[in-house]
């Protein structure tokens, strides 16, 4: 808990200057961001030893999970925006966490499978799967926090991807869900939402998840 309290303190301080999360959400920071992210910890397999967080932004869910799973899971945060990476580094230091931060577009990184892949407020599911595929292997598990558009995103993604998928109601967002993806195969149909490049630095794709 002390690590998460330190995280909340530095986020509040930096957010006054850099607007890392919507300022309107700060009064409800713990539920909207901390506990929302923390609920993924229970879904991380006991055998997992490493994790990739995509589009880490202000560190949700990656830094929260790094704090909760610090004794057994090595976390790598992927974020294209330099100022957000600077915050992630400062926050990790304040929290006493050893995480890897990659300030690079995801499509510029070599394929590297992780045991777990996470994302929140990153992109609509069909596009998010494009980004996630290079970080998955045969036994990888993807855990995605999705918002009110989760139903339509699942329907759309099923048109283009072969995968095993499960949906768990969110404990913090009545309209949201946790989407678990296993055995993510190759995209078997060209997706109209797929893109050769990740969103430009400082931008996120609209996907119905509160920020």
Report pLDDT for 82: 96
The pLDDT tens digits of the residues spanning 141-151 come to: 999 999 999 99
Q: Cα separation of 73 and 76, whole Å?
A: 10
Structure tokens at 149: 């558009």
Task: Give me the chain's average pLDDT, please.
Answer: 89
Domain ranges across the chain: 2-182
Tell me the Cα Rg of the chain.
Answer: 16
Please compute the mean of the pLDDT values over residues 119-139 and round it to a whole number: 93
DSSP structural state of residue 89: H
Q: What pLDDT score was predicted for residue 1? A: 87
pLDDT tens-place string over residues 2-20:
999 999 999 999 999 998 9
pLDDT at 22 over 50: yes
Q: 194 pLDDT exceeds 70? A: no
pLDDT band with cut points at 50, 70 and 90 for residue 173 = very high
User: What pTM was computed for the model?
Assistant: 0.88
Q: What is the pLDDT of residues 74-122, one digit of tens each?
A: 999 999 999 999 999 999 999 999 999 999 988 888 889 999 999 998 8
In a 3-state reduction of DSSP, which class is residue 185?
coil
Query: What percent of the chain has pLDDT above 90?
Result: 79
- Report the half-sphere exposure of 120 (CA within 13 A, side-chain side): 29
What pLDDT is stored for residue 208 in this prediction?
45
pLDDT digits (tens, 9 = 90+) for 27-53: 999 999 999 999 999 999 999 999 999
Residue 69, pLDDT > 50, answer yes
Quick one: pLDDT at residue 121? 85
Q: Just give the CATH number of 2-182.
A: 3.40.50.150
Q: Closest by alpha carbon to 132, among 180, 184, 80?
A: 184
């Amino acid at each position: 808990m002390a690590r998460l309290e330190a995280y909340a303190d530095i986020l509040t301080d930096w957010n006054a200057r850099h607007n890392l999360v919507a300022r309107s959400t700060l009064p409800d920071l713990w539920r909207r961001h901390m506990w929302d992210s923390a609920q993924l910890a229970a879904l991380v397999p006991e055998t997992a030893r490493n994790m990739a967080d995509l589009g880490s932004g202000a560190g949700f869910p990656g830094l929260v999970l790094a704090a909760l799973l610090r004794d057994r899971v090595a976390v790598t945060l992927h974020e294209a925006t330099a100022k957000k990476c600077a915050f992630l580094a400062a926050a990790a230091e304040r929290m006493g966490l050893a995480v890897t931060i990659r300030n690079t577009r995801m499509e510029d990184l070599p394929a590297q499978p992780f045991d777990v892949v996470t994302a929140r407020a990153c992109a609509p599911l069909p596009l998010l799967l494009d980004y996630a595929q290079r970080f998955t292997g045969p036994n990888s598990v993807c855990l995605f926090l999705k918002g009110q558009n989760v139903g339509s995103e699942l329907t759309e993604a099923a048109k283009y991807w072969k995968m095993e998928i499960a949906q768990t109601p969110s404990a913090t967002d009545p309209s949201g869900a946790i989407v678990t993806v296993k055995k993510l195969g190759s995209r078997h149909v060209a997706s109209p939402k797929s893109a050769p490049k990740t969103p430009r630095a400082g931008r996120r794709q609209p996907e119905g998840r509160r920020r």
